[in-house]
């Protein structure tokens, strides 16, 4: 039966059914899309909440770090202030100790005021023994202890006892005055001051003067530590510097290849002899020299060459591992032979 053959009521029912079905489909589709939209909104909201939470957490951590850094800085500042206070306290105690033990001296008519702490600062000295409290000492009418010596240079003695650094800047420069002060240092048994004065009295050799004894050449050798080395300078003329002050001079990379090289009783403190070559047929004489702090590392021929260290002062001198022991053993054998 065609549509035209249907009655009006049948056509209306079919149309309504189709409309209802379409409405149901549309409603279901809308619900689905609404749910998807709602889910997306929820996900975005959760992401925003999580991002905000992370941001707040990071900000909290930053503030905590900042507080901790400030706390540490305040603690460090307090520690510095505390240390400064302790240092100042010790300094004041030191000053009070000095002031509470003042001693008047009359040295050959020259009057000085010092402290027991200063006079006792060098335990092995005569002044330390004199004012140790073990001896009965008499004073003059002014309450000063009399010492029957020439007091002209005793300010240098007391300054040395107060501070034994940078002595070269304060000690007398004229030789006659140095000789007079040396006698007083020997009388007071101040060994370090005596040594300083003796070094100051030695003729000084400059680096420029020393360099005139070298010529440029090259020599390959194996150091006492077994490493291949190359020197760049050769001693080509006599280098006789007995009883001279050659402290802090640079001899490094030198090839000692001639006779007449002598540093007997000289001061070679902190001198640099690193990477030098010493040969057995040419003796380099350090008899009774002061080689404190000198550098002999990476050298060749120290233990087999013609180097004479007899009587030398080698305090804090630098050698390659094992070399110093060999040198000491060699010196002991030389002493036995004598």
Reduce the DSSP state of residue 235 to 3 states and report it: strand
Mean of the per-residue pLDDT values of the chain: 84
- Cα 108 from chain centroid? 44
Which residue has tokens 């702090």?
293
Strand 228-235, strand 145-147: pairing: unpaired
Task: State the pLDDT at residue 98.
Answer: 45
Phi and psi (nearest 5°) for 10?
A: -70, -40
Residue by residue, DSSP assigns 198-220 as: HHHHSPBPPHHHHHTTEEEEEEE
Phi and psi (nearest 5°) for 272?
A: -110, 105
Both tokens assigned to 70:
């400030």
Both tokens assigned to 32:
């689905």
User: pLDDT tens digits for 94-103?
Assistant: 555 544 578 9
User: pLDDT tens digits for 76-86?
Assistant: 888 888 888 88
- Alpha helices, DSSP H, located in the chain: 8-100, 116-119, 126-130, 154-162, 175-187, 191-201, 207-211, 323-337
Long-range CB contacts for residues 25-32, cutoff 8 Å, separation at least 24: none
Nearest one of 109, 108, 260, 135 to 119, comparing CA atoms = 135
Task: State the pLDDT at residue 93.
Answer: 66
Which residue has tokens 């403190």?
269
Task: State the pLDDT at residue 150.
Answer: 93
Which residue has tokens 């007091």?
151
Check whether 148 has a pLDDT greater than 60.
yes
- Strand ordering across the sheet containing 261-262: 239-240, 261-262, 284-285, 307-308
Residue by residue, DSSP assigns 129-160 as: HHTSSSS---B-TTSPEEE-S-GGGHHHHHHH
Check whether 262 has a pLDDT greater than 70.
yes
Question: Which residues in 31-66 are b (16+ Cβ under 10 Å) and which e?
Answer: eeeeeeeeeeeeeeeeeeeeeeeeeeeeeeeeeeee
Task: State the pLDDT at residue 94.
Answer: 55
Nearest one of 176, 184, 175, 177 to 203, comparing CA atoms = 175
Single pTM value for the model: 0.58
Task: Give the mean pLDDT of 6-11.
Answer: 56
Nearest one of 311, 202, 288 to 249, comparing CA atoms = 202
Both tokens assigned to 302:
């120290």
Percent of the chain with pLDDT over 70: 91
| Rg of the chain taking only CA atoms, in angstroms | 46
Reduce the DSSP state of residue 165 to 3 states and report it: coil
Task: State the pLDDT at residue 99.
Answer: 47
């Amino acid at each position: 039966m065609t549509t035209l053959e249907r009655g009006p009521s049948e056509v209306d029912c079919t149309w309504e059914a189709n409309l209802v079905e379409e409405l149901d489909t549309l409603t279901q589709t809308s619900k689905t899309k609404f749910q998807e939209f709602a889910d997306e909104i929820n996900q975005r909201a959760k992401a925003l909440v999580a991002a905000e939470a992370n941001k707040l957490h990071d900000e909290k951590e930053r503030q905590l770090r900042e507080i901790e850094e400030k706390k540490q800085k305040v603690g460090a500042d307090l520690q510095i202030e505390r240390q400064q206070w302790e240092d100042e306290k010790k300094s004041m105690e030191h000053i009070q100790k000095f002031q509470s033990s003042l001693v008047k001296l009359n040295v050959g008519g020259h009057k000085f005021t010092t402290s027991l702490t200063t006079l006792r600062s060098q335990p092995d000295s005569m002044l330390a023994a004199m004012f140790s409290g073990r001896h009965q000492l008499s004073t003059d009418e002014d309450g000063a202890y009399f010492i029957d010596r020439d007091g002209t240079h005793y300010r240098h003695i007391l300054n040395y006892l107060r501070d034994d650094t940078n002595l070269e800047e304060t000690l007398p420069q004229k030789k006659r005055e140095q000789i007079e002060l040396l006698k007083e240092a020997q009388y007071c048994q101040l060994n370090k001051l005596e040594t300083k004065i003796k070094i100051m009295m030695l003729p000084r050799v400059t680096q420029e003067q020393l360099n005139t004894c070298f010529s440029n050449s090259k020599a390959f050798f194996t150091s006492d530590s077994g490493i291949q080395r190359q020197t760049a300078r050769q001693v080509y003329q006599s280098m006789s510097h007995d009883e001279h002050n050659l402290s802090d001079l640079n001899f490094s990379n030198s090839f000692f290849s001639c006779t007449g090289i002598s540093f007997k009783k000289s001061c070679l403190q902190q001198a640099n002899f690193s990477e030098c070559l010493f040969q057995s047929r040419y003796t380099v004489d350090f008899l009774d020299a002061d080689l404190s702090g000198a550098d002999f590392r990476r050298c060749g021929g120290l233990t087999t060459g013609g180097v004479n260290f007899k009587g030398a002062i080698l305090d804090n001198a630098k050698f390659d591992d094992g070399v110093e022991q060999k040198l000491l053993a060699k010196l002991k054998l030389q002493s036995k032979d004598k």
